[in-house]
A and B are shown apart, each in its own frame.
Chain A
Amino acid sequence: MNEDLQDVRRLLAPANPVPRGTLSGAGRDAIGRAAFTRVTGTDAPATPRRLPSRRAGVRLVTAGGLAVAIAAGLTVAQSLGGADRNGNPRAVLPGLPGSSVANAQVALNHAAGAADHRAVTPPRPTQWIYTELRSASIDAPSRGNVWTPTSPQKTEIDQYWMRADGKRWARFDHGKLVISPTGSGPFPNDYAALTVLPRDPDALLAWARRTQTPGESNSPDAKAWAALTSVLNVGVLPPGLEAATYRAMAKIPGATVDKAAVDDQGRPALAVIESLPGEWSANEILLDPTTYAYRGERLKVVKDHRFRDGAMIKKGTVESLSTLLAAGVVDHPGQRSPKRP
């Protein structure tokens, strides 16, 4: 055993990206001190308060506020009605616009209208939201440094449970269900935190533009698009939020629509594409062309691009995609809700 340890340390040391001592003193530098103040400035364990994220100021919410917000959501949903016995929204929908989708604004407003008609039964704070996402992205090329639309993709299925109050999440780790406390991620990704987002599209867009998005450019529109797509990926949203999200997206300039898009399963889809001038990639969300239900997102290369290190990525390559396979309210972590159609 000891031999194993020595051998492994010797082998791995050269590949250690952060050798011991590299970050000495980080706990006391400016960022470290600020983090310390934030962490210890939160309430005592008995009445926990969320850590105000550097990225999303909206997450500063007291536990009492959450309870009120969730209760308010419940009232709205009860007046709407229309969920099935499992709390899943019933198929849509009266008054779904059947007209052709002329442009992105029209498509997004149709999606918002459809979402308005979809019933939502808010979870109780101790219930869990199950989400299953299939992600695929181009893998590091084995030969050469060129990605094309036919480059192999690496696919992963993510299955996880987030408690509706946002305080616990769960996943299977090597076959064992692991329930962990949550901190405060870059985006509000739990029901309680999403409940406090504005339903007014302008206010929601203003929030999304302020939200720091990892990896996105500094363009407020790109940031906003990414933040709003993140909201859609949660799958079970508080009443009014899905519609507000589409309406906020409709206010971002530059979006186009592709009525003849095909998703990763070969199904027809409606793509709403956010392409910023001069960018070589574009973000797309995919909607069901009949019900306007959210299916997923992808990042597509819209013109050939050469990286500084010589690597090439060709137009038409889907760099990454994510498809929402299932999302629903369950009573216990480990329980799954039915797959989406």
Chain B
Amino acid sequence: MPDADDGFGELWDAHYDDVLSYAARRVDHETARDVAAETFLIAWRRRNDLPADRPFPWLLNVARNVLANEARGHRRRGLLWGRLRDDRDRHAPVADVATGLVESGRIGAALRRLSARDREALQLVGWEELDPKDAAIVAGCSVKTFSVRLHRARRRLAAVLAELDAEGHRPPITSLQGSRQS
């Protein structure tokens, strides 16, 4: 991006897509755009304090807080919020904070049964492909704490998957992506 000072344009080019992806995995696309813009607005205001060597986990930590702020509004609006929103969203619908995550399939069903903390640890590693050092910055804890969280979350995921298989569980249609209001 031209016209930016302090290397902010490079920061944008290097990380906007990934910050947007992080948000889009957790909320609908339009909200994700807002979350990405807010994250970079905060980064812009604090551009003198940015950790120059590894800004990405710092940006995701900011995005995580922005998302938490957004999520309050989403929760207020309940389950149908995501359905109604999906109905009008031209973009591919993605995971939604309001309904609990709505990714399809057995893994999605298992993730929904885990605690928010377990889900976060698994997703930062599994989706954002962060290593524990960076994931710890995003989650706001020590590397050691994160590693313990991840290890436990992985164990619990395995247990829930076994549980689901024993139940012969098939995720309800209503919680799948792409549900549409008639």
A330 to B: closest C-beta gap in Å? 18
Cα A38 to Cα B34 in complex, Å, equals 12
Query: Contacts A9-B125, A11-B107 known; A138 to B79 CB distance under 8 Å?
Result: yes
Asked if B162 is an interface residue, CB under 8 A from chain A, the answer is no
**Do B73 and A230 touch across chains, with their CB atoms under 8 A apart?**
yes
| Cβ contact of B34, chosen from A54, A173, A180, A181, cutoff 8 A | A54
A170-197 interface with B by 8 A CB criterion: 171, 173-174, 176, 178, 180-187, 189
Asked if B80 is an interface residue, CB under 8 A from chain A, the answer is yes
Asked if A286 is an interface residue, CB under 8 A from chain B, the answer is no
Closest 10 CB pairs of A and B: A320-B78, A183-B38, A12-B126, A27-B16, A180-B65, A137-B78, A15-B107, A308-B182, A17-B94, A308-B180
Query: Contacts A7-B154, A12-B107, A309-B179 known; A1 to B20 CB distance under 8 Å?
Result: no
**Do A45 and B12 touch across chains, with their CB atoms under 8 A apart?**
no
**Do A133 and B94 touch across chains, with their CB atoms under 8 A apart?**
no
**Do B174 and A26 touch across chains, with their CB atoms under 8 A apart?**
no
**Do A183 and B24 touch across chains, with their CB atoms under 8 A apart?**
no
Asked if A8 is an interface residue, CB under 8 A from chain B, the answer is yes
**Do A309 and B173 touch across chains, with their CB atoms under 8 A apart?**
yes
| Cβ contact of A35, chosen from B36, B72, B88, B108, cutoff 8 A | B36
Inside 8 A of B75's CB, which chain A residues have their CB?
135, 137, 156, 158, 322
Size category of the B interface is 35 or more
11 pairs, A vs B, C-beta closer than 8 Å = A11-B107, A12-B125, A26-B16, A33-B1, A45-B48, A178-B65, A183-B39, A186-B73, A215-B82, A297-B76, A310-B173
The stretch of A74-82, A106-114, A139-147, A199-207 that contacts the partner chain: A139-147
Cα A299 to Cα B78 in complex, Å, equals 8
**Do A142 and B17 touch across chains, with their CB atoms under 8 A apart?**
no
| Cβ contact of A16, chosen from B46, B66, B127, B173, cutoff 8 A | B127
Q: Which residue of B has the minimal Cβ distance to A176?
A: B140
